[in-house]
Copies of this chain bind each other. A is one copy, B any other.
């Protein structure tokens, strides 16, 4: 039971940005009918690593979806797609702009068939503008959008964000666009096109970097791991890993000094207030850093938690999976796949009191639901479906 129960989404997406969007909608209860090219399927079915022959990458992004194979280059394939359009509320695609038009399946065509359809397109550069038709890759969009230029160690190279934030950002914004358009449709009955560009989303996620630049004229650079104005507020090496210590105010500073055996420096005026600590950062940091090396991260966590000093370890992925809060919030779930067996993946980050989303099924086998969906939505018979298989349409 999710808040989008009853919503039918035709999902033509592949790889990451689009599938991430439809996963969000599916987690919240929408029925996701994933259209895949016959034989090969979504490209990401062939991305490693594999578990019992199934792509873990694909399985993590395509839970809760139904797979229907359809060759959109055949006339019958196009016909079937158009028949589906009459039956669904939303279509999502992340082809390069122009691809759907070339297939004769652009928004202008589909809205004639169903004026209430919400047509969402996630692309690299969007459906307008001079770069529109270019292929996009996460690595290119992260570079062009400015996020790399402000990520990295202080004085170091611009750095790519580890997860593909170009794709994931676009997936999130596209989901918001679909749901906002759905609200408008609920009130007016009219659908529309939702055009989301990975590059645009990068710009929309730059936070205060633009404000800083336009006001000061100074171009933001990678600024490392420490807070711009609060001291200490950064990671320190412990005896076994690293921990972020976040001393948000002067009361916390005192508590921190007491439990970290730094009472000698607590007594010094030059470190008593945050502005003073900021001014004397170069002198202060090594003194703290030396102390922090004396204990393990787990020991420090206990000490700082008990003293009410905000802190957090730099968790590696194995540690994230074992984090008490992550576990308590069901943010790592295990899904059983008929071929691959059990696979751990992220849970649903939106916790709803009345209609919590759920993971009701694993990622589909290619074409697993072709027959079921063609019968349910389009009243095809077994014989007709068999013939479509034989012709290579499914």
Say yes or no: is A287 at the interface (Cβ < 8 Å to chain B). Answer: no
Say yes or no: is A179 at the interface (Cβ < 8 Å to chain B). Answer: yes
Assess A173 versus B233: contact at CB under 8 Å? Given A317-B150, A318-B213.
no
Chain B residues near A317: list those with CB within 8 A: 146, 149-150, 206, 209-210, 212-213, 219-220
Binds B, one of A66-74, A288-296, A325-333: A325-333
- Residues A128 and B175 in contact, CB atoms below 8 Å apart: no
Residue of A248, A316, A348 ringed by the most chain B CB atoms within 10 A: A316
Say yes or no: is A140 at the interface (Cβ < 8 Å to chain B). Answer: yes
In the bound complex, CA of A272 to CA of B50 (Å): 27
In the bound complex, CA of A7 to CA of B183 (Å): 10
In the bound complex, CA of A329 to CA of B195 (Å): 11
B-contacting residues, A52-89, CB 8 Å: 56-57, 59-60
Assess A209 versus B163: contact at CB under 8 Å? Given A128-B329, A346-B204.
yes
Q: Give the Cβ gap from A62 to chain B, nearest Cβ, in Å.
A: 12
- Residues A173 and B349 in contact, CB atoms below 8 Å apart: yes
Query: When each residue 133-157 of chain A gets 1 if its CB lies under 8 Å from chain B and 0 otherwise, what string results?
Result: 0111101110111111111110011
Q: Give the Cβ gap from A133 to chain B, nearest Cβ, in Å.
A: 11
Residue of A16, A195, A196, A317 ringed by the most chain B CB atoms within 10 A: A317
In the bound complex, CA of A216 to CA of B348 (Å): 24
Q: Give the Cβ gap from A314 to chain B, nearest Cβ, in Å.
A: 5
Chain B residues near A246: list those with CB within 8 A: 137, 139-140
Say yes or no: is A9 at the interface (Cβ < 8 Å to chain B). Answer: no
- Residues B165 and A211 in contact, CB atoms below 8 Å apart: no
Residues of A contacting B: mostly? mixed
Binds B, one of A32-40, A185-193, A263-271, A273-281: A185-193
- Residues A159 and B168 in contact, CB atoms below 8 Å apart: no
Say yes or no: is A262 at the interface (Cβ < 8 Å to chain B). Answer: no
Query: When each residue 16-27 of chain A gets 1 if its CB lies under 8 Å from chain B and 0 otherwise, what string results?
Result: 100000001000
This chain's copy number in the assembly: 2
A190 to chain B: closest residue by CB: B354
Chain B residues near A163: list those with CB within 8 A: 147, 150, 205-207, 209
In the bound complex, CA of A193 to CA of B169 (Å): 24
Chain B residues near A325: list those with CB within 8 A: 125-126, 129-132, 144, 199
Q: Which of B146, B179, B207 is in CB contact (< 8 Å) with A176?
A: B179
Extra A-B contacts (19), CB below 8 Å, given A199-B329, A212-B317: A5-B184, A7-B183, A139-B225, A139-B234, A143-B244, A144-B314, A146-B317, A151-B162, A159-B159, A161-B161, A163-B205, A165-B165, A179-B182, A183-B186, A193-B354, A194-B351, A206-B317, A210-B320, A213-B318
Q: Chain A interface (Cβ within 8 Å of chain B)?
A: 2-7, 16, 24, 28, 47, 49-51, 56-57, 59-60, 107, 125-132, 134-137, 139-141, 143-153, 156-165, 167-169, 172-177, 179-184, 186-187, 190-197, 199-201, 203-216, 219-225, 227, 233-235, 242-244, 246, 248, 310-321, 323-326, 328-329, 331-332, 343-355
